[in-house]
Amino acid sequence: MNKKTVRDIDVAGKRVFLRVDYNVQFDEGEILDDYRLRESIPTLEYLIEQGAKTIICAHRGRPGGKVVEELRNEPVAKHLATLIGREVKSVTDCVGPEVDAAVAAMQPGDLLLLENVRFYAGEEANDPQFAKQLAALADVFVSDAFGTAHRAHASVVGVGYYLPAVAGFLMERELEYVGRVATDGEKPLAVILGGAKVSDKLAILKNLVDRAALICVGGGIANTFLRAQGIDVGASLYEADRIQDAYEVMRLASSRNDLRLLMPTDVVIADAAGTRINTVSVNRIPPGFRILDLGRRTLEDMREALAPMKTVVWNGPVGFFEREPFDRGSIEVARMLADLVGAMTVVGGGETAAAVAKAGVAQHISHVSTGGGASLEMLQGIMLPGVEILRDK
């Protein structure tokens, strides 16, 4: 993506409105996963070095335009301060007298975290007046919130109509890696798709099918593909209204000699109680049992097929990742990607990123995206509104 970044503008002494994705959860005062905070630090450190006054804007959860006490940003500010090694002040509003006073008191290098921006109904409505109020706090707009770039919200898009808008370093990296996969990644290209719904992933397949050499399907979407082959999947979840779509993808794959569609040949199944667990051929699923993970033979086939690939993108766990032992397939796929030599490996956000973290191989993956929904849409070939608003180079 040919967008300007924070390097391309002068931020010395300027007030910078920095939109980040700090949508994190706490449990008894302890943050559960601070990956998104850590990924924003290079941009923060650059702004500090340049002497900018950085006004950080973030959301947490879905409060629906109302104040929800447990979704306030103050604990986020405290944790961020420990990560960056300097004070991060916080306020209990996004606009208004308290915020104006705090911004006026800022010195070069200071960091100020605004309150949860989704406490305001104008945020998700992309209300121009609210966007204008936010923009009035600053001189420039730096977006580092790839995880919300697919949302046309006031702090993601609206502010960019009133201030010069550029990308932060995290946004730049996301656009580089996810964008390359979506447009011109080095071939041969492999796509690994999991998760529950074919409908979520079908557009990715249609966008990448012309360039892919290998498509691997797992998770709930594989059940729909198996049903399209006439296989009885027992009590497994599948999308009956997407069987025709799955069949169409299989037809497209069979029409190309240079494209392999790899589907499960063996699977891990369990009964309704989850007490009887077995690995069987996809043609031998007993009534009442559900497919919950990929089998060993399928995983070995996948490892072999991935070996010659130069670009690999993975979106969606290949099993019921939330529950052991059905997380094993996704962890194994993460290790496969980590073992690839000379390949660019890109992992979508959410549970796919969690599988990489659980496998302990994040440092061996080229890029782990912070944005599940955003990366999903970008891989579909959709231009994200939070990216469109950024200035072109």
User: Catalytic site residue 251?
Assistant: no
The pLDDT assigned to 355 comes to 92
Q: To 5 degrees, how large is the angle CA 250–CA 255–CA 261? A: 40
The pLDDT assigned to 274 comes to 87
Cβ of 113: how many Cβ atoms within 10 Å? 24
User: Catalytic site residue 197?
Assistant: yes
Decide if 355 contacts 321 (C-beta within 8 A): yes
Q: How much is the mean pLDDT over the chain?
A: 94
Catalytic residue among 51, 72, 211, 373: 373
- The residues, ordered by sequence, that sit 6+ positions from 50 with a Cβ below 8 Å of its Cβ are 11, 12
Catalytic residue among 350, 371, 372, 386: 350
Q: Residue 230, Cα to own-chain centre: how many angstroms?
A: 33
Catalytic residue among 72, 197, 303, 358: 197
- The answer to whether the Cα torsion of 381, 246, 279, 196 is positive or negative is positive
User: Dihedrals φ, ψ of 257, to 5°?
Assistant: -75, -20
**Rounded Cα gap, residues 296 and 303, in angstroms:** 11
The pLDDT assigned to 300 comes to 98
Condensed to tens digits (0 to 9), the pLDDT of residues 146-190 reads 999 999 999 999 999 999 999 999 999 999 998 888 887 789 999
Every domain of the chain and the residues it spans? 6-170, 177-379
Structure tokens at 84: 């960056």
Decide if 20 contacts 144 (C-beta within 8 A): yes
Topology at the third CATH level for domain 6-170: Rossmann fold (3.40.50)
Catalytic residue among 19, 36, 60, 242: 36
In CATH, which of 2.60.40.3880, 3.30.2130.10, 3.40.1190.20, 3.40.50.1260 is domain 177-379? 3.40.50.1260
To the nearest 10 degrees (0 to 180), the angle between helices 169-183 and 198-208 is 70
Structure tokens at 287: 């009534």
Residue 109 backbone zone (phi > 0: left; psi -120 to 50: alpha; other: beta)? left
User: Catalytic site residue 342?
Assistant: no
The pLDDT assigned to 211 comes to 85
- Percentage of the chain beyond pLDDT 90 is 80
Condensed to tens digits (0 to 9), the pLDDT of residues 331-356 reads 999 999 999 999 999 998 678 988 99
- The residues, ordered by sequence, that sit 6+ positions from 96 with a Cβ below 8 Å of its Cβ are none
User: What is the identity of the amino acid at 338?
Assistant: A
The reply to whether 177-379 shares the fold of 6-170 is yes
User: Catalytic site residue 60?
Assistant: no
Distances (CA, A) of 127 to 20, 141, 156, 159, 316: 19, 17, 11, 10, 33
* pLDDT-derived band at 1, boundaries 50, 70, 90: low
